[in-house]
Amino acid sequence: MRWMLGGLALVALAATPTAEAAKKPSPTRHVFIITLENKSFDATFGPTAGAPYLAGPLARKGALLTRYYGTGHFSLGNYITLISGQSENPSTQSDCTTYSDFTFTGIGPGGQALGFGCVYPPQIKTIADQLEEAGLRWKGYMQDMGNDPARESATCGHPAIGAHDDTQGATATDQYATRHDPFMYFHSVIDDQASCSAHVVALTRLRHDLRKAKRTPNYAFITPDLCADGHDEACADPSQPGGYEGIDAFLRTWAPRILKSPAMKKNGLLIVTFDEAESGADACCFAPTGPNTLLQGIYGPGGGRTGAVLISNRIRPGTVSDHPYNHYSLLRTVEDIFGLDPLGYAANPAVTPFGPDVYTRAPAA
């Protein structure tokens, strides 16, 4: 297979990541994560790449991870994994059409909350809680959140506990989806209304926050709307492109703004990934079978092969890594960067953070 990486020489290092490498103080102090929707590696990065900007110019700026996998199906469980290390349960596997409390019966193996439901109890923490405790800044930037106040508020937007989630479908004026905003599924975040409203905001705030490094959070989780993330092929707003065209339009607008920002230039890491593959439930590296559901991918162990792109001044342009990674690896990597203890399954010994196969440049002095 070939990838759309143009004429740049590819750097494919076979070095295996190690836990020891992650223990060293990280020069990275700002992490930006853009999460896209439901696309498989071959369609995204293959010979007829659906998103030519992502697969071409953007991937050439950093590292393409060819064996990066989602951890389950459907969408919501993957987002929850990315910020907490919690795995799927029957409710998240149906995308929580009712915004119900998690029926909590205790803590099981690997730090997993035992039970089922949507909104985890306060004792189940996220990386947002960890960052605050460490005196570091974080924000979730959600496109379209608050466009229709009758559906959700402009900050910390979610349904009432026990209510139907009216954001499951897009409207012509509001394509925000609560299920793509993982912070809304943890009482540790939403119960402090003032804090939640300060931290989970509309995407429009990102442009202001990027202008100065001191305004830019250490951790930025960025969710496009249901067309810009590729989820909807035909958009509720007919003037907006969907599918791969929507993905590329979003990235062409926001990736350059992030890459040109003072925080990113100094010590940033941009990660562009997908929640799950469009088809297939294959997995890699670490694929738990429980405790709340036997198969994380419903029809298989995982969420399928999606690929991911990472850009940093510590990554040589044109790098290609064939080492297997998944969402637990991503969470573990970010927690290692900020010196945080790994949450949930991210702490499993089988989970490896991104290593020297990805970080192909020495940190700047």
Cα 91 from Cα 101, distance rounded (Å): 10
pLDDT value of residue 1: 38
365 — pLDDT class (breaks 50, 70, 90): low
Per-residue pLDDT band for 364 (boundaries 50, 70, 90) equals low
Predicted local confidence at residue 67, as pLDDT:
98
Task: Name which of 6-20, 34-48, 198-212, 231-245 the model is least confident about.
Answer: 6-20
Confidence band (pLDDT; 50, 70, 90) for 60?
very high
CATH class of 27-311+341-347: alpha beta
| Domain spans, the chain | 27-311+341-347
Q: At residue 277, what is the residue type?
A: A
Task: Give the list of residues 6+ apart from residue 66 with CB closer than 8 angstroms, or none.
Answer: 3, 41, 45, 307, 320, 321, 322
Counting residues of the chain whose pLDDT is more than 70, the rounded percentage is: 92
Give the pLDDT mean for 214-222.
98
Of 3-7, 13-17, 276-280, which one has max mean pLDDT? 276-280
For residue 133, the model assigns a pLDDT of 98
Least confident of 20-29, 134-143, 292-301: 20-29
Q: What is the 3-state secondary structure (H, E, C) of the chain?
A: CCCCCCCCCCECCCCCCCHHHHHCCCCCCEEEEEEECCCCHHHHHCCCCCCHHHHHHHHHCCEEECCEECCCCCHHHHHHHHHHCCCCCCCHHHCCCECCECEEEEECHHHCEEEECCEECCCCCCHHHHHHHCCCCEEEEECCCCCCCCCCCCCCCCCCCCCECHHHCCCCCCCCCHHHCHHHHEHHHHCCHHHHHHHEEECHHHHHHHCCHHHCCCEEEEECCCCCCCCCCCCCCCCCCCHHHHHHHHHHHHHHHHHCCHHHHHHEEEEEEECCCCCCCCCCCCCCCCCCCCCCCCCCCCCCECCEEEEECCCCCCEEECCCEEHHHHHHHHHHHCCCCCCHHHHCCCCCCCCCCCCCCCCCC
Instruction: Give the integer Cα–Cα distance in Å for 296 and 112.
Output: 13
b vs e for 70-79, b when ≥16 Cβ sit within 10 Å of the residue's Cβ? bbbbbbbbbb
| Mean pLDDT, residues 90-105 taken together | 97
**Mean pLDDT (whole number) for 203-223:** 98
Would you place residue 8 in the very low, low, confident or very high pLDDT band (cuts 50, 70, 90)?
Answer: very low
Average pLDDT, whole number, for the chain? 93
Q: What pTM did the predictor assign?
A: 0.93
Of 218, 236, 225, give the one whose Cα is nearest residue 32. 218
The sign one gets for the Cα dihedral 69, 269, 79, 25 is positive
User: Is residue 17 over pLDDT 70?
Assistant: no
pLDDT classification of 9: cutoffs 50, 70, 90: very low
- Asked if residue 2 has pLDDT above 70, the reply is no
pLDDT at 5: 40
Residues 282-300 have pLDDT tens digits of 999 999 998 999 999 999 9
Cα(145)–Cα(133) distance, integer angstroms:
26
For the cut 70, the answer to whether the pLDDT of residue 246 exceeds it is yes
Average pLDDT over residues 91-105: 97
pLDDT digits (tens, 9 = 90+) for 327-349: 999 999 999 999 999 999 999 99
230 closest CA partner among 39, 53, 34 = 39
Q: pLDDT at position 362, please?
A: 75
Task: Write down the pLDDT at residue 25.
Answer: 53
